[in-house]
Structure formats: C-alpha cells, structure tokens
Amino acid sequence: MTIRIVQVLLLFGLTSCQPKSIDWVSTTQDEQWAVKTIPVTKASDEFDVEIDPGKELQTIEGFGACFNELGWTSLSELHQADREEIMKELFASGYGANFTVCRMPVGANDFSLNWYSYNETDGDFAMENFSLGNDINTLIPFIRNAQEFNPDLKIWASPWSPPTWMKHNRHYASRSSAGFAEMIANTAASQAGGAGTSGQSIAAERFRSFLDPRYQNDLPPNREGREGTDMFIREKDYMVAYALYFTKFIEAYRNEGIDIFAVMPQNEFNSAQLFPSCCWTASGLAEFIGSYLGPAMEKLGVDLYFGTMERPNEALVDTVLLDEKSRRYIKGVGFQWAGKDALPGIRQRYPDLKLYQTEQECGDGKNDWQGAMHSWDLMKHYFSHGVSVYEYWNISLPEGGISRWGWSQNSLVVIDTEKKDYRFTYEYYALKHSSHFVLPGAVKLATSGEYDDLLAFKNPDNSIVVIMANQSDENKSVRVRIDDVFIAPDLLANSLNTFKLSK
C-alpha cells in the first residue's frame, strides 16, 4: 500500500523532491526582465539538456564591475535620488545586480579624468609625499556610496602605471599617440591600395576619436615601450619603493574606511598602451612579487593574485607560478581579453588555483543587443573554464562612452547629461540574469546534452539557477532535466532566460 501511494505522488510531482516554485525571467531586445511562470512537466527519458546537482565544479565568489572616475562623474550628473536608485540596483543585496566583488585602479587608468599617480615626487623612495588627494572627490565617494548598500562589498585593486619616475620612459603612457596615428594612416593607406588622402580619410573615419588632439598624449615615439620588456626600472631601490607604494595605498584606503582584500601587480602587463600602462616581463613580475610585493602584502593580510593576463600565452603564467619565491604568495590568477584562451590549460595544470575574470571586453559605445549577446558568450566561456568571479568593466558612462584617450566603450548605465536621465543597457540585463540569482558560495554545475547555450549553478540554500539563451531568430522549445524535475520552456527568439528552482 505504501509503495502504491509513493508511485501516485511521483506521478503527480508531489514528493518533497519537487520544487515549491520555479521562477522564470526573460529578456529580449524589446522587453527586459519579463517575469513568467513555468510548469513542471511529466518525467521523460527524452530531454535536450541534463543538469546534475550532484556534479559540482568551482565555487562562485560573485560578480561586479570596476570603480572608475568617469563612472562617478557621469553618475554625479544625475539628481541624487536617481543616482541612489542606480547604486541600490547595482549593490543592494538581493535587490538588483547584487554586486559583491569589484575592482578599482591604483592611480590613474584609461577611464580616469586625467593621468596621475599617488606620488610624482622624483626619487621619493621613502614615499614621504604619498597622497590620495586625487581620489577624494571621485573614487572614494563612489566606493563609499556602494558600501552604503553593501557594507560587505569586496574590493581588489591593480595599477595601470606606476609613478612615472619609476619607468624608463618617465611617462604614464607606453605608446605614443603620434606614432599610433602614423601607423593607422599608413595601414589605412595600404588597405586602400595606395598612399595619400584616400587612405588617410579611411584612417580618420575609423579612428577619428583616437586622432582627436584632445585625446592624444605627448609621449615621443622614441620613448615608447614594447611587449616583452621591463619598462619598470628593475633596481632594488625602485622595487622596494614600489612595494611601499602599494602598502601606502592599502593603508590610506583603510583610513578612509575602505578595505582592499587583494591586489594584482599590473593591469595587462604585456600591452604598451596610449593610456597609463607599463610593460613587464613575466620574470620581472616574478622577482617583484617574490622578493618585494608578496612579503609587503602578506604583512598587511592582503591577498596577491597574478595578473591581469591579456594574452593567450600560458607560459607567462607558468613563469611566475613555477618560480619558488613568487608562487608562495600567489592565491590566484586574473584573466581578461585574449587571456581567456589561456584559461583551459592553466586550470588543468593548477586545479586548486583561484581564477578570476577581471575585465569584460568593453564594446564600442553602441550598447546594442549584439554586445549583450557577446557578453553572454564571454560569461559562458569564463565560467566553463573555472572562474570564481566575473566582472564587467564600466559601471556608468555618458552617452557615447568615450574614454580619456578617445575610445567609445559600453557601460551598464548610460547617462544623458543634458536631460539628467539614464537607462540600463542590454549588457546590464545580460549580467543581471546571472548576478541577481547566483549568490556567493554557489557552485557551478556540470551540464550535458545537445543544447549547450546555458550555465547552471547551485546556491548555498540548494536552489538551482539555470541561465539559458536562444540566439536564433526563431522561438525554440528546450527540454530540461534537473535531477527529478522536468521543464520544457519555449524560449523566445534572441532571448536570455533565467530559471530558479527553489525546494
């Protein structure tokens, strides 16, 4: 008799294993964050994808973005009530995007108001003139405002450039705007089939903002840096002073009520850029980490991650991780841009190492639906290859999203400075489809089957989150098995969808 009752309960989906509720949110180009319902279907041996809650992969620490100066100044164009609503949407626990881990620069980056460091006094190895003065009106209030909505927000930091007097070329940039403009003109002329005005007009059209005098640096071409070299002066006095610079930064921010839990030694250490940057060799960073920065951060209780890696060259990571002195201090590695292609091999060789996605590719300022779908594809790649943290780049920018050096980029929020109005972009909703539902401490789940345009996670409360896309131009029904639960949602064409199963 008891067996018969259980069979009936199973038939009607009434056992304790069945979810009490299944939440469904869908986003398309025409409608964002549409709340729907989805019924549980009868058990079946036929399905397009299977999710096994017992097959757990990496633990998720959270989602976030970067605190940039232009993010704060754009938000400051709004009425305070609107700005507060945006910050609540981004940072309040369980409310909107639910950001828990964010990044900030150490000194200027390419979305600063201007180039600066915390100490430009030449030869000040004792850091007597170290000052956060530049950050008082921008980065510090930006972070404090976020902390009002999430006091437990975790923040890590990396420099784009050390103080200029610590670099061989004594300049924030590593690449000359004049040299870059000449290269673009020559390339465009060659592509046009010959030199002259036609080629230069192509260059002017494609790279107009880069060639605008307002955005150019004054670095002479003969003082450019290049990949595979150390632009930092690798002498002991400079190494000691730079480690002290990091220490002063951590201590100064702590005095402002902002705790930095981790640092990375250099943003994109292979890239000579028109904006603040500094090329290092991997061996140079291994020396700096192992003998100087690592011990300094250990004294402060600050974690040290290697990065950020923007190249698909796994050997660069190996150089630092196989160095006995530097390896003992490294808790993880951060990847961005082409560095994503180094993830599979590094994850395989160092399975216990934490992996971060540190900067999402930034788009072209159009903030269109294609950019949102690219964001989704990036999230799939990074989470499928073991990252614990996923971070967007620009939180907020004015319409057009132009940087200090002339590149128009995407953002989560776009500000109309004339109308004092704002909008959340498609990429914001693409990120929110994961960050709102996948909580710190969640684990990624393995999936199998013919349909693979998805990610699945299990939260600490055992709720299951499945994010699925339909990137085709037609509606598509997908049969999903999640343990003993079956759903068959009809996914709208060109849509993102999140399902949360709570038991």
Torsion angles phi and psi, residue 343, rounded to 5:
-60, -50
* Beta bridge partners of residue 498, listed in sequence order: 25, 467
Res 332: pLDDT: 98
- Exposure string of 153-188, with b = 16+ CB inside 10 Å and e = fewer, is bbbbbbbbbbbbbbbebebbbbbbbebbbeebbeeb
pLDDT, tens digit, for every residue of 405-419?
Answer: 888 999 999 999 999
Q: How far apart are alpha carbons 107 and 161 in whole angstroms?
A: 7
Phi, psi of 79 (to 5 degrees): -65, 145
Six token digits for residue 368? 């269109």
Instruction: Quote the DSSP letter at residue 39.
Output: P
Which domains, ranges and CATH numbers included, belong to the chain? 18-58+443-502 (2.60.40.1180), 61-176+217-435 (3.20.20.80), 177-213 (no CATH)
> Which of 431, 382, 433, 423 lies closest to 401, judged by CA?
423
- Short-list 33, 141, 134, CA closest to 80: 141
Q: Place 45 in a pLDDT band, splitting at 50, 70 and 90.
A: confident
The confidence score (pLDDT) of residue 41 equals: 83
Read off the pTM.
Answer: 0.93
- Rounded to a whole number of angstroms, the distance between the first and last alpha carbons of the chain is 27
pLDDT digits 0-9 by tens, 335-356: 999 999 999 999 999 999 999 9
Cα separations (Å) of 117 from 114, 130, 223, 239?
10, 9, 20, 16
Strands (E), 260-353: 260-263, 303-309, 330-336
The pair phi, psi for residue 82, each rounded to 5°, is -70, -40
Share of the chain above pLDDT 90, in %: 85
pLDDT tens, position by position, 149-207? 999 999 999 999 999 999 999 999 999 998 887 777 777 667 666 545 544 554 455 56
Contacts for 428 with CB less than 8 Å, ≥ 6 apart: 97, 412, 413
Q: Is the dihedral of CA 476, 479, 482, 487 positive or negative?
A: positive
The contacts of residue 107 (CB under 8 Å, 6+ apart) are: 116, 117, 118, 159, 160, 161, 162, 163, 276
Q: What distance in Å separates the CA atoms of residue 316 and residue 266, rounded to the nearest whole number?
A: 13
